Structure 1
């Protein structure tokens, strides 16, 4: 099966600007490699500032890359024209659904705007808007409303309808349930799952919500300070995380039973500044299991079998039993 999206050794650097215009650029993403198969849902997780949204923007050509290569459906993306072409087949759902809609445009105009941008003729835009709104469970009269007249859930559904307009193969969803009530979150996730089956979509879901990726993602990729620290099938990672950062993120999930909370795996301190990246393993300043080697030698992203990889010196022994063994060394 052809890989839909392939990312190899992707680097993104940003200039500092202002008084620091002559200083070395900031490295935001470094050596990121990922594959996304047709019909697959990949969850991209990590704390704020880990580079998740920057990676999504780079995939769509909205953020210049400093190194690495990108392929979409077998075609390499190198020129601006290549990225303009991919935007017909890859859509973006923004984190703030209401703010992503122009207050001067009606819902009907917003969901059919992609046709105008890509100069695709539509016989009747009013009928097309009604068709797209019906796909996401909204009545046709919603097309006459403006963004300020929508609830959070309705605005999110409008965002999904606009993303579906050009029948994309890939949808990149940035925090698709942010700011929604729990019941509305469930409705949106069920809608996305239904559309995936109906249209054969692939999803790249960017989120902090581990409960969300556990529910919808086939595989997970974990970013820390712009580095990929663990990837693998969702079920395997939740059952047996092999990087301390992943383990701490999972342990931090709210649990009603206090006896099941894991304070010993809590992440210490704040995420370091990218201006002063720690030497060695960049997570060692916060890792509850750090050893001397972690402070001086950066680990490589290694294959640990069964479609999994982890960037940790102790990934091979990072099982539940291995964790206790490591703590007593």
Structure 2
């Protein structure tokens, strides 16, 4: 599958002590991932793991300090490169209502990308109605203002605006945040229908593992700005190779609380990026840490076809989790 988006060892470091300071604080470190044509990739991890920072870096809203970004095999460099990327990619922001200017009508907002990119529209009102119809909103919605929308309607307007220039890639930051369960299902079904109709590729940022199971072909797990595991969603959920991934899955809410694996529960708080632990950065919270984990940082290594994990004992964990998964589903 050819890649629409390809990140190679992307790093982001922010000034420490003010914008004039030379000291830098690493937020993202050597992140590599790809999104194929028509593919849905989920980026998961706790708050503070760097998910939104990565999305902002892809869109050129945050400067990268290392690595490379490529769109359709061509490097994204400088203002011209990011202008090309923003024409081919669109972003759905986490707070859909806050991303809409309260002074502009919905019709103006959904056609705003055309104005930004200098695309003349012979019939802006007709285009607004067409975009709203694509996401299941009535034409009358074009005359409303953002404060008159429900959360689900604001989310659909955000989708319509993202689709205006017919992008090949959509970056969706928590696309179901703050929505009722029924509305979440509507938004996810809409995204799935648009993916099938338009051949869209998605990079979905989320905490919601149920959403990941439902919509993602592959999953990438971030911890303290590093990729700790990635691979096909079904395989990762069936047999997680990294203890952090296993802990996230074990903490997922289930109807029967007796099925939760409390032995895999994550202990403590996420360490500060100002004081990164030595060795494996997860060892301070890992229920299975050994001495080598405290001393030596593991590499992101293959653990099967299309899968990688950053753990000294990834192969052993994958086998153990696979056996446990089989027992639980007998």
TM-score, normalised to structure 1's length?
0.96
CA–CA separation in structure 2 for the residues paired with 1:261 and 1:21: 48
Tell me how far 1:80 sits from its aligned partner.
1.4
What corresponds to 2:256 in structure 1?
257
What corresponds to 2:9 in structure 1?
9
Tell me how far 1:85 sits from its aligned partner.
1.2
Tell me how far 1:259 sits from its aligned partner.
2.0
Tell me how far 1:17 sits from its aligned partner.
3.7
The RMSD of aligned alpha carbons is 1.5
The 1:323/1:145 distance shift into structure 2, 3 A limit, reads closer
Contact 1:317 1:323 in 2 (8 A): no
CA offsets, 1:22-63, max 9 Å, x none?
Answer: 362110011111111100000000001101011111111111
What corresponds to 1:318 in structure 2?
317
What corresponds to 1:132 in structure 2?
131
Contact 1:91 1:172 in 2 (8 A): yes
1:62 aligns with 2:54: no
The 1:92/1:322 distance shift into structure 2, 3 A limit, reads closer
Contact 1:42 1:217 in 2 (8 A): yes
Contact 2:44 2:220 in 1 (8 A): yes
What corresponds to 1:220 in structure 2?
219
Contact 2:238 2:321 in 1 (8 A): no
Count of matched residue pairs: 324
CA offsets, 1:228-259, max 9 Å, x none?
Answer: 00000000000000000000000000112122
Tell me how far 1:78 sits from its aligned partner.
1.4
CA offsets, 1:75-103, max 9 Å, x none?
Answer: 11111111011101100000000000000
Single out whichever of 166-175 and 70-79 deviates more from structure 2.
70-79
CA–CA separation in structure 2 for the residues paired with 1:301 and 1:121: 47
CA offsets, 1:199-229, max 9 Å, x none?
Answer: 0000000000000001000000000000000
Tell me how far 1:294 sits from its aligned partner.
0.3
SS of 1:286 mapped into structure 2: coil
1:76 aligns with 2:75: yes
CA–CA separation in structure 2 for the residues paired with 1:60 and 1:223: 19
What corresponds to 1:162 in structure 2?
161
Contact 2:17 2:23 in 1 (8 A): no
Tell me how far 1:2 sits from its aligned partner.
2.5
What corresponds to 1:327 in structure 2?
none
What corresponds to 1:89 in structure 2?
88
Tell me how far 1:323 sits from its aligned partner.
9.6
CA–CA separation in structure 2 for the residues paired with 1:323 and 1:159: 39
Contact 1:51 1:226 in 2 (8 A): yes
CA–CA separation in structure 2 for the residues paired with 1:3 and 1:241: 25
SS of 2:294 mapped into structure 1: helix
SS of 1:319 mapped into structure 2: helix
CA–CA separation in structure 2 for the residues paired with 1:280 and 1:304: 20
Which segments of 5 or more consecutive residues in structure 2 lack a partner in the other structure?
Answer: 324-330
- Residues 1-329 of structure 1 aligned to structure 2 (within 5 Å): 1-18=1-18, 21-22=20-21, 24-319=23-318, 321=320
SS of 1:56 mapped into structure 2: helix
Tell me how far 1:320 sits from its aligned partner.
5.3
CA–CA separation in structure 2 for the residues paired with 1:75 and 1:119: 23
CA–CA separation in structure 1 for the residues paired with 2:40 and 2:320: 31
CA–CA separation in structure 2 for the residues paired with 1:8 and 1:75: 13
CA offsets, 1:112-164, max 9 Å, x none?
Answer: 00000000011110000000000000000000000000000000000000000
